[in-house]
C-alpha cells in the first residue's frame, strides 16, 4: 500500500464519523433555537460550535493512533510512513472542517442566529480568509496535541499517563493561581498575563494581532508533531 492509498484509507474511515458528528451538532443547534423560540420568542442565537469541533478532533487525533497505527503496523508498514499518512490525514480533515465551519458560521451569522468562536474572541469585521486560517491552524493544533497524548499514553502506560494528567491539572489550576495571587510580584503576574494575551492575539491598547495566535498554533503543532514522531519510532503495540 502506497502512501496515498494509506491516506485515502484514513480519510474514508473519517468520513462517516464526521458526517454523524455534524448531523448531531447542527440538529442540536436547530432544536435549541426552535425550542427557545417557542418558549420565549424574541431574538435567539447560538454560538461556539467550534468548541464541539475541538472536542471531536481530540477524539479523532487520539483514535488515529490507537486504531490506525495498530492496523498499519500489523500489516507491515513502517512507523515513518504511518506517521506521514496520519499528518496528511490531519491536514485534510482540518482543511475540510475549517472550510465548512467558516462558511457555515458566516452564513448563519448573516441571519443573526449564530456567533462563531472567532467572532466572540475578536469581534466582527474580520475577513473570511483570516477566520478560515485561524480555524485551520486551531484544528491542526488539537489534532496534534491529542495524537501526541495518545502516543505518550501508549509509551508510558495508562496509569502513569493518568497520574501525569492529574499532576498537570493541579499545577495549572491550583498551584499556578495560588502562586500568581499570593507569591509572585504583581509585575510578574501582570507580565505573564499580557504575554499569554499576546499569544492569543490581544495586543497593547486593545489592538488585535491575529498573526500571533496563528503562529502560536503552528509552532505548538510542530512541537507536538515532532514529539509524537520521536515516541513513535520505538512505539510497540499494547
**pTM, entire model:** 0.89
pLDDT of residue 1: 59
pLDDT of residue 237: 65
Tens of pLDDT along 154-208? 889 889 999 999 999 998 888 888 887 788 788 888 888 888 889 888 988 778 8
* pLDDT above 80 (res 113): no
Percent of the chain residues past pLDDT 90, beyond the cut: 47
pLDDT of residue 143: 96
pLDDT of residue 101: 92
- Domain ranges in the chain? 3-232
Mean pLDDT of 107-112: 76
pLDDT of residue 151: 93
Tens of pLDDT along 47-106? 668 899 999 999 999 988 888 888 898 888 889 999 999 999 999 999 999 999 999 888
pLDDT of residue 14: 93
pLDDT of residue 40: 59
Q: Does 146 or 113 have the greater pLDDT score?
A: 146
The answer to whether 58 and 94 have CB atoms below 8 angstroms apart is no
Amino acid at each position: 500500500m502506497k502512501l496515498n492509498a494509506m491516506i485515502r484509507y484514513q480519510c474514508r474511515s473519517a468520513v462517516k464519523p464526521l458526517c454523524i458528528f455534524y448531523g448531531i451538532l447542527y440538529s442540536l443547534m436547530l432544536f435549541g433555537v426552535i425550542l427557545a423560540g417557542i418558549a420565549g420568542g424574541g431574538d435567539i442565537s447560538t454560538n461556539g460550535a467550534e468548541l464541539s469541533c475541538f472536542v471531536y478532533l481530540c477524539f479523532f487525533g487520539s483514535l488515529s493512533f490507537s486504531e490506525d497505527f495498530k492496523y498499519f503496523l500489523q500489516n507491515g508498514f513502517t512507523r515513518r510512513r504511518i506517521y506521514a499518512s496520519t499528518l496528511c490525514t490531519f491536514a485534510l480533515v482540518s482543511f475540510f472542517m475549517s472550510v465548512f465551519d467558516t462558511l457555515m458560521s458566516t452564513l448563519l451569522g448573516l441571519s443573526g442566529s449564530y456567533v462563531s468562536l472567532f467572532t466572540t474572541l475578536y469581534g466582527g469585521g474580520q475577513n473570511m480568509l483570516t477566520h478560515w486560517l485561524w480555524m485551520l491552524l486551531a484544528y491542526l493544533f488539537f489534532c496534534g496535541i491529542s495524537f501526541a497524548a495518545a502516543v505518550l499514553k501508549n509509551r508510558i502506560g495508562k496509569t502513569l499517563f493518568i497520574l501525569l494528567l492529574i499532576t498537570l491539572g493541579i499545577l495549572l489550576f491550583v498551584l499556578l493561581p495560588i502562586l500568581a495571587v499570593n507569591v509572585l510580584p504583581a509585575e510578574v503576574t501582570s507580565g505573564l498575563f499580557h504575554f499569554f494575551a499576546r499569544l492569543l492575539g490581544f495586543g497593547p491598547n486593545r489592538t488585535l494581532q491575529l498573526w500571533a495566535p496563528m503562529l502560536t498554533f503552528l509552532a505548538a503543532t510542530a512541537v507536538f508533531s515532532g514529539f509524537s514522531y520521536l515516541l513513535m519510532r520505538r512505539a510497540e503495540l499494547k
